[in-house]
Amino acid sequence: MRTPSPLVYLVDDDPSVLRAVKRLLTAGGFDTKAYSDPALFLAEHNPATPGCILLDMALPGLSGIDVQSKLAATAHRQPVIFISGENNVPATITALKGGAVDFLLKPFDETVLLAAVRAAIARDAVTREEEAEAGDIAARLAGLTPRERAVFARVIAGRLNKQIAADLQIVEKTVKVHRARVMKKMGARSLAELVRLAYKYGLVDKEVASGT
Amino acid sequence: MRLTLEAIESLQAVPDAIARLLRLIPLVAMLAAAITPAAFAMESLASAPLLLAAWHMTSGTFLLIFIIVAGLTYLVLKFHREVESRRYAERAAHDSRDQIEISVAAANLGLWDWDPVTDTVWTSDHCRTMLGLTGGTTMPREKFLDCLQGEERALAEARMKEAMITGRQCEAEYSLLQPDGSTQWIASRATPRSRRGGKPDHLLGVLMDITSRKQAEQEAVEQRKQLTHLTRVSVLGALSGALAHELNQPLTAILSNAQAARRMLSHKRYDISEIRQILEDIMADNMRAGDIISHLRSLLRKDELARRPVDMNQLIDGVLAFSKSDLVLKGVRVTKDFCTDCAMIEGDPVQLQQVLLNLFVNAGEAMNQMPMSEKSLHIVTEKTRAGHLRVSVTDTGEGISDSNLQFLFEPFHTTKALGLGLGLPICNWIIMAHGGQLFAQGNPGGGATFSFDLPLPIEVANEDTESSRVFG
Ligand SMILES: Nc1ncnc2c1ncn2[C@@H]1O[C@H](COP(=O)(O)OP(=O)(O)O)[C@@H](O)[C@H]1O
Ligand SMILES: [Mg+2]
């Protein structure tokens, strides 16, 4: 599956700022979709598209913060960069608490803008990759039989084959067979990699708890 | 002058006394015939020896002599008493004039008295000191008026003449240029008087130095100007964030446009019409920034009240646009209900803008604690029954308590931690200077309405048609 190229959503009620910043982003090499109406943006915004969102703080009707909280209620993924004409500390704090990755003060230089957008897009890509891997791991985990899952839980908990055999009242040889199948199904080449995956996706506590 | 007056008056007393003497003769004769010496004794002790003689005599000749002598004695005494009482009255009058002069001088008043017949002016000592006049008490009017210059001198002459003709009191204020270059202010009140009843024959004047009052007045005007200036600055302070935003928009657009164009040119493949469009946009945004700055400057200027035709609806829209980002940042919903054919008035657009700005800022501040969904500002222009233009600004803020309502227009009354309490007094002053009135009220459903009435041009005020309205 080919990943779509990143898209920058730009929301600002001032038409001339909107036009100028869109031009700059386009000239900087980013596909940009510009909205002067925050409601229209919310209606058209596609959370599945990789990229980032540039959001003006002072918008008529809905404030930038309102748009951010409305986005949070959806399955949105794109990092939000706020742009604002004034250095409003309380609003900045609210924005950052709401998960904003950056806060640019108008007027901003192209290097600042493009670097922030680039960083946000990279961050979005990493998040998406991790989410994809997490989804993948979850699918692999679902492919394990109950017995394999019990062995997996004990392996990542650091128990030896002998102990696992005793736990499950099976012979040690059978444990080894299950263990090899777990490694294969989970796509881990070594015990170390299996443990890393388990830690990374928070499987340790869950599996250990359910497996015992 | 006093001496001559006295002399004339005592001379006048002589024929008076003779007339009375002639009238007295028959009376004395009657008294003598009744032979009541006691009455004579009462009249004058000096007659006593004559009365004793009369007691012993019966001859008619003696009686005649007695009557003549008694009558003459009486008359001499009477005349003497008459002169005495005249003298006494003169002295009393003189004393009281002195007393008046002393008290008027103490009250910092100067006295003058113009006699149109001789065209001379008598002046009190303090009067001469006040006017910087030298010489004696009485002087020709020409010299008296020398303390005034040009137009004021001509005016004073005309007023003096008029007062004598009409017999009415006249009041005026004059400015005197002092040798040290400062200005002294004098208030004058002149009353036409008559010495013998009938037509006025002299003009009595009182002068008062009102320099300090004038200075206080000028200071008050100056202070008010400065206060107006101060609130403008404080209102702008409240708006500075919004103002920065307002200026930042065009600046952001200009910078981004210019940098986009530079990038496009370096890519070699670019659309020349797009570059042209960018340059057009840059110019437009530059103009926009300039407009904001000139608006700011006009608000900061300390100018006087100017009168120009003003479209109130346009003015409101202008101020709304100017404070848009402040309202937007606060999440205030703005609605309008404008009267289309009654919004033209005469006034000072800058000052009226200031009133609107103050009312909008106050409304916004009153709604600070409200949730965003409940913040709204409703602006109405309409024609009142009395033929005024009424502008009402209604908010959904905290409203006004009764105890607060009575102090709203008092300078420095504020319920805000950082308030100056000058916004409303100055609004009130500006509206009054426009011949209008400012009103405040708390609304039953919460929030407040501030409104002001301004006089409409007579033709519009008299039209009784229902004015057409637009809703926005
Ligand atoms: N729209 C309003 N709603 C409620 N109270 C108001 C409103 N406007 C003014 N006030 C009251 O009037 C006071 C005086 O206002 P003002 O003269 O503008 O001074 P300041 O804004 O500096 O307090 C305010 O402190 C506030 O208590
Ligand atoms: Mg105020």
pTM over 0.90? The answer is no
Average per-residue pLDDT for chain A: 87
Interface test with B, best of A23, A25, A36, A87 (most B CBs within 10 A): A23
B413 C-beta closer than 6 A to ligand 1: yes
The answer on pLDDT for B366 being more than 80 is yes
**Alpha carbon nearest to ligand 1 atom 18, residue:** B423
Sign of the alpha-carbon dihedral angle for B391, B394, B400, B404: negative
Q: Which residue in the set B245, B260, B331 is minimally distant from A63, CB to CB? A: B331
The structural domains of chain A, ordered by start, are 7-131 (3.40.50.2300), 143-211 (1.10.10.10)
Give me A69's structure tokens: 């909280």
Q: What percent of chain B has pLDDT over 70?
A: 73
Check residue A60 and give its pLDDT: 67
| Contact residues on chain A for B253, CB-CB shorter than 8 A | 14, 16-17, 19-21
Q: What is the mean pLDDT of residues B163-172?
A: 88
**Which range scores top for mean pLDDT: A31-40, B171-180, B326-335?**
A31-40
Check residue B1 and give its pLDDT: 39
Q: Out of A32-36, B80-84, B251-255, which region has the weakest mean confidence (pLDDT)?
A: B80-84
Check residue B341 and give its pLDDT: 87
Q: At what angle do helices B60-106 and B2-33 cross, to 10 degrees?
A: 150
Average per-residue pLDDT for chain B: 79
Quick: pLDDT tens for B439-472.
Answer: 999 999 899 999 999 999 888 877 765 444 444 4
DSSP string of A141-182? HHTS-HHHHHHHHHHHTT--HHHHHHHHTS-HHHHHHHHHHH
* Cα separation of the two ends of chain A: 38
Q: Which of B39, B18, B13 is nearest to B28 (CA)?
A: B39
Atom of ligand 1 nearest to the CA of B393: 1
- 3 state DSSP class of B104: helix
- Report yes or no: B260 at the A interface, CB cutoff 8 Å: yes
Check residue A73 and give its pLDDT: 83
B448 C-beta closer than 6 A to ligand 1: yes
Q: Which residues of A touch B (CB under 8 A)?
A: 13-14, 16-17, 19-21, 23-24, 26-28, 57-61, 63, 66, 84-86, 88, 106-110, 113
- 3 state DSSP class of B419: coil
Whose tokens are 């005034």? That residue is: B148
Check residue B216 and give its pLDDT: 81
- Report yes or no: B257 at the A interface, CB cutoff 8 Å: yes
Q: What is the mean pLDDT of residues B199-213?
A: 88
Q: B207: which strand partners? A: B110, B188
Q: Out of B72-76, B119-123, B435-439, which region has the weakest mean confidence (pLDDT)?
A: B72-76
Q: Tell me the three-class secondary structure of B167-230, residue by residue.
A: CCCEEEEEEEECCCCCEEEEEEEEEEECCCCCCCCEEEEEEEECHHHHHHHHHHHHHHHHHHHH
**Is-contact B423 B435, C-beta < 8 A?**
no
Cα(B422) to ligand 1 centroid in Å equals 9
Give the span between the Cα atoms of B253 and B280, in whole angstroms.
12
| Contact residues on chain A for B281, CB-CB shorter than 8 A | 16, 19-20
Check residue A172 and give its pLDDT: 92
Q: How many CA atoms lie within 13 A of B472 on its CB side?
A: 14
Chain B nearest-CA distance from A21, in A, is: 6
Q: Out of A102-106, A107-111, B169-173, B460-464, which region has the weakest mean confidence (pLDDT)?
A: B460-464
For residue B275, give the chain A residue with the closest CA: A23
- The residue that leads in pLDDT, B45 or B418, is B418
Q: Which residue in the set A16, A27, A109 is minimally distant from B285, CB to CB? A: A16
Check residue B420 and give its pLDDT: 67
Sign of the alpha-carbon dihedral angle for B59, B65, B71, B74: negative
The answer on pLDDT for B129 being more than 50 is yes
Atom of ligand 1 nearest to the CA of B450: 1
- The residue that leads in pLDDT, A61 or B442, is B442
- Report yes or no: B285 at the A interface, CB cutoff 8 Å: yes
**Which range scores top for mean pLDDT: A23-27, A55-59, A203-207, B134-138?**
A23-27
Sign of the alpha-carbon dihedral angle for A40, A44, A48, A51: negative
- The residue that leads in pLDDT, B195 or B30, is B195
Chain A nearest-CA distance from B349, in A, is: 27
Check residue B315 and give its pLDDT: 94
Q: Which residue in the set A19, A28, A61 is minimally distant from B263, CB to CB? A: A28
Quick: pLDDT tens for B32-90.
Answer: 444 444 444 444 444 555 555 555 555 667 677 777 877 887 777 777 777 777 776 66
- Please, which residues have CB within 8 angstroms of residue A34's CB and are 6 or more apart in sequence? A10, A11, A12, A18, A19, A21, A22
Interface test with B, best of A10, A16, A84, A110 (most B CBs within 10 A): A16
Number of H helices and E strands in chain B, helices first, is: 15, 14
How does residue A131 score in pLDDT terms, banded at 50, 70 and 90? Answer: confident
**Which ligand ends up closest to the CA of B414?**
1
- The residue that leads in pLDDT, B412 or B367, is B367
The answer on pLDDT for B7 being more than 50 is no
| Contact residues on chain A for B325, CB-CB shorter than 8 A | 58, 85
Check residue A141 and give its pLDDT: 85
A2: which DSSP letter? P
Q: Out of A14-28, B90-104, B283-297, which region has the weakest mean confidence (pLDDT)?
A: B90-104
Interface test with B, best of A70, A82, A86 (most B CBs within 10 A): A86
Give the span between the Cα atoms of B371 and B451, in whole angstroms.
25
Sign of the alpha-carbon dihedral angle for B362, B364, B370, B374: positive
- CATH code for the part of the protein at B215-302: 1.10.287
Distances (CA, A) of B6 to B121, B138, B361, B373: 19, 17, 76, 93
Q: What is the mean pLDDT of residues A117-142?
A: 89
- The residue that leads in pLDDT, B465 or B267, is B267
Cα(B299) to ligand 2 centroid in Å equals 16
Amino acid (one-letter) located at B122: W
**Which ligand ends up closest to the CA of B392?**
1
**Is-contact B312 B381, C-beta < 8 A?**
yes
**R_g over Cα of chain A:** 24
Strands (E), B8-117: 109-115
- 3 state DSSP class of B401: coil
Partner-chain contact A20 B250, CB within 8 Å: no
**Which ligand ends up closest to the CA of B409?**
1
B397 C-beta closer than 6 A to ligand 1: yes
User: Which CATH number among 3.30.1330.10, 1.20.1070.10, 3.30.565.10, 3.90.380.10 corresponds to the domain B306-472?
Assistant: 3.30.565.10
The answer on pLDDT for B389 being more than 90 is yes
**Is-contact B427 B437, C-beta < 8 A?**
no
The answer on pLDDT for B361 being more than 80 is yes
Domain range list for chain B: 2-104, 107-209, 215-302, 306-472
Atom of ligand 1 nearest to the CA of B420: 22
B408 C-beta closer than 6 A to ligand 1: yes
- Report yes or no: B267 at the A interface, CB cutoff 8 Å: yes
- 3 state DSSP class of A96: helix
| Contact residues on chain B for A27, CB-CB shorter than 8 A | 259-260, 263-264, 267
Check residue B41 and give its pLDDT: 43
Sign of the alpha-carbon dihedral angle for A64, A69, A73, A75: positive
Q: What is the mean pLDDT of residues B396-419?
A: 84
The answer on pLDDT for B422 being more than 80 is no
Interface test with A, best of B239, B245, B247, B252 (most A CBs within 10 A): B252
Give the span between the Cα atoms of B62 and B163, in whole angstroms.
64
Quick: pLDDT tens for A147-193.
Answer: 998 999 898 888 899 999 999 999 999 999 999 999 999 888 888 88
The answer on pLDDT for B416 being more than 60 is yes
Give the span between the Cα atoms of B288 and B249, in whole angstroms.
9
Arch. (CATH architecture) of B107-209: 2-Layer Sandwich (3.30)
Chain B nearest-CA distance from A116, in A, is: 15
CB within 8 Å of chain A, chain B residues 344-403: 372
Check residue A104 and give its pLDDT: 92
Amino acid (one-letter) located at B82: E
Residue B282: what are its φ and ψ, rounded to 5°? -60, -45
Q: What percent of chain B has pLDDT over 90?
A: 26
B160 C-beta closer than 6 A to ligand 1: no
Pairing of strands A102-105, A80-84: parallel
Q: In terms of C-beta distances under 8 Å and separation of at least 24 residues, what long-range contacts does A148-152 make, across chains too?
A: A148/A178, A148/A181, A148/A182, A148/A185, A149/A207, A149/A210, A149/A211, A150/A211, A151/A175, A151/A178, A151/A179, A151/A182, A152/A182, A152/A186, A152/A194, A152/A207, A152/A211
Check residue B4 and give its pLDDT: 42
- The residue that leads in pLDDT, B340 or A20, is A20
Cα(B437) to ligand 1 centroid in Å equals 17
Quick: pLDDT tens for B293-336.
Answer: 776 666 555 556 678 899 999 999 988 887 776 777 678 899 99
Give the span between the Cα atoms of A154 and A159, in whole angstroms.
6
